[in-house]
Chain A
């Protein structure tokens, strides 16, 4: 695949293409400028677009998010980077009380074309404050769009769509995926559309980001055992494409959600609840949620690997759902 690029390069390309296409786009964040970001996901953009439009902020997440919001309603289409997604806790008010509600609270006087990027996810040994998948923190807040790209193609497509969107969008990048390779597509799906990434007839497996890749591995193993998995990547959890999931469950009769975050109050639980309410008659067996254990992510390899769903654990969970 000569055209294949990494997830990291896809992020850089999406930002670069939007900075190029629209002079209202600016990028701010900690070390996003000359340093190119701690994950190198903004590399080269400062040199290309200059310090007015690509600028380093102080280590001040409230200032980053508030500035993005104020700029978004004043004529720019800003992108703010929150380095580690865990730091969303530092600026939670700015995201959920200010950015998410600004349009509604003003009675629709303006749009809020703001984008936040933040790198989440575990498996790399960063410990409890730098390994979380925090997307579920925002599920209870109407007004936000939440994107979870798993591939270079989606990292590119969803980030560009986020910047072009007239609503506040958070794009959760996954630290463990920055190095994976894949091809970009011109016909990427929009925000709010799930993708059926593997067709199958026995069970619907819904998974995002790192868990999508592990679910695909599990599906390959299970195929050798004669179990056919249909794997769906929702890509965005707000809005959530329940129609694609319900259609799939309609022909598989079984549902398994796989997520890297703990179960409580999560999108995986929401998907299961939605299918149970809207498609109860479609189910031949009880749905299952394979999630992180309800504990903080430990530093030690043995502990972290046991906490997050592994390929083996996912395969075992799907087998149980099939046997149920």
Chain B
């Protein structure tokens, strides 16, 4: 089988992508259940159906690269290698959560793996990504920052300010639009005259492309090429990854606004199912291998959940920690 079909990846790497996507899917399924048990507070924004975007994109990064994402960010943070148990613990508000319970579902961050933050004010992290890019540029580290955002973000001012600045300063940033067709409850066409969002980049003299966001290898290839361009000091790229969320916007949203049959059509193009079905075409991968990955992922998520549930909540007396690094 041709190397090209598999993006130059070997058996282990391909199975690794599958495993990450399945782990994210199962992780989100568990978060949903925790909600139903009232163990997760307020709201959460799940990404079932969109797993190929963060997994494909983050697999194209190198050590030292960084990532920022949105409040629908569990998948992106996990794709950077943040531990499942400490991520789940954060969503449960535990002291051993990645942010010691201060952040929660919308603010997962693990700086040790370059997951610089999940931002819950739409568009607010695009300027931040410029800052990580500026640091890399000034210090000459060669590292690149990938920035995920939703389709709705393309209409907020910070999007424009950040893409303009990144382009004029040639910052090493890869902007990845996760276009799941809806900004909260509104179909993109009802809020946005130019629905091919990749075209927006032309306003900033920035190269851009639209890819199938449910094809993990296609996303990976597009980000790898953008990453190489950024690392070569040629500036930022925007990638529009077409995808679909299986759930509503948040837990209070049954997604009744979807036209009949739309979800079903997208389920036929599920990123995990299609990749799992394709992998046995690889010379060195069998259906048993795929099953083994499914099993291992399920065990990993179950174990992470069990640990996270067992950990304690933060002590109220520690609530003053972390406001300032150096109180006067």
Which residues of chain B have C-beta atoms less than 8 A from A76's C-beta?
Answer: 134-135, 138-139
- Nearest A residue to B131 by beta-carbon distance? A70
Are A75 and B135 in contact, with the CB atoms below 8 A? yes
Q: Which of B101, B128, B325 has the most CB of A within 10 A?
A: B128
User: How many A-B contacts at CB < 8 Å in the complex?
Assistant: 159
| B323 and A142 within 8 A (CB) | yes
Q: Is the CB of A106 within 8 A of B131?
A: no
Residues of A within 8 A of B134 (CB): 26, 28, 67, 70-71, 74, 76, 78
Would you call A62 and B157 a contact (CB within 8 A)? yes
> Are A165 and B126 interface neighbours, CB within 8 A?
no
Contact of B161 among A62, A167, A190, A236 (CB under 8 A): A62
Q: Which among A78, A104, A145, A166 has the greatest number of chain B C-beta atoms within 10 A?
A: A104
Interface residue ranges of B153-192 to A (CB < 8 Å): 157-158, 161-162, 164-165, 168-169
Which residue on A lies nearest to B319, using beta carbons? A104
Q: CA A297 – CA B326 in complex, angstroms? A: 36
Q: Indicate whether A112 sits within 8 Å of B325 (C-beta atoms), given known contacts A58-B164, A66-B124, A67-B131.
A: yes
Query: Is the beta-carbon distance between B325 and A73 smaller than 8 angstroms?
Result: no
Bound form: Cα–Cα A107–B137 in Å: 27
A98 to B125, CA, bound (A): 9
User: Is B99's CB under 8 angstroms from A73's CB?
Assistant: no
Measured CB to CB, the closest approach of chain A to B253, in angstroms, equals 23
Whether the pair A57, B328 counts as a contact (CB closer than 8 A) is no
CA distance A64 to B99 in the complex (A): 26
B322, CB-defined interface residue at 8 Å: yes
* CA of A108 to CA of B323, assembled, Å: 8
State whether B165 touches A105 (Cβ < 8 A): no
Beyond A52-B138, A78-B131, A98-B119, whether A67 also contacts B99 by CB under 8 A is no
Please state if B124 and A73 are interface contacts (CB–CB under 8 Å): no
Q: Is A72's beta carbon under 8 Å from chain B?
A: yes
CB nearest neighbor in B for A142: B323
B52 within 8 A of A: no
B327 with A239: CB separation less than 8 A: yes
Choose one: A73, A78, A193, A236; the contact of B116 (CB below 8 Å): A73
Selected contact of B326 from candidates A24, A67, A166, A193, CB within 8 Å: A166
User: Is the pair A93, B128 in contact by a Cβ cutoff of 8 Å?
Assistant: no
Residue contact B132 to A70, C-beta cutoff 8 Å: yes
Residue on B with the closest CB to A104?
B322
Q: Is the CB of B323 within 8 A of A106?
A: no
A65, A70, A103: the one contacting B323 at CB < 8 Å is: A103
For residue B216, CB closer than 8 A to chain A, the reply is no
Determine the residue in chain B with the shortest Cβ distance to A73. B116
**Residues of chain B with a CB closer than 8 A to A103's CB:** 322-325
With contacts A62-B158, A167-B324 taken as known, whether A105 is within 8 angstroms of B107 at the C-beta atoms is yes
**In the complex, A68 has a CB within 8 A of chain B:** yes
Q: Which residues does chain A contribute within 8 Å of B128, judged by CB atoms?
A: 66-67, 69-70, 98
A145 to B325, CA, bound (A): 11
Instruction: Output the least CB separation between A68 and chain B (Å).
Output: 6
- Chain B CB within 8 A of A60 CB: yes
Task: With both chains docked as a complex, state the minimum distance between the C-beta of A46 and any C-beta of chain B, in angstroms.
Answer: 15
Q: How far is the CA of A267 from the CA of B123 in the complex (A)?
A: 32
Q: In the bound complex, how far is the Cα of B162 from the Cα of A55, in angstroms?
A: 16
Contact: A68 with B103, CB < 8 Å?
Answer: no
Partner of A105, one of B99, B137, B169: B99
B135 close to A63 (CB less than 8 A): no
* A190 and B328 contact, CB distance less than 8 A: yes
Q: Once the chains bind, are A105 and B103 in contact (CB under 8 Å)?
A: yes
Q: How far is the CA of A76 from the CA of B241 in the complex (A)?
A: 32
10 inter-chain pairs at a CB distance below 8 angstroms, sorted by A residue, are: A52-B137, A66-B162, A73-B116, A78-B131, A78-B134, A105-B107, A107-B97, A107-B98, A167-B324, A239-B328
With A66-B125, A76-B138, A98-B124 already in contact, 12 other A-B pairs whose C-beta atoms are closer than 8 Å: A53-B138, A57-B165, A60-B165, A67-B131, A71-B132, A104-B322, A105-B107, A106-B107, A106-B322, A108-B321, A145-B328, A239-B328
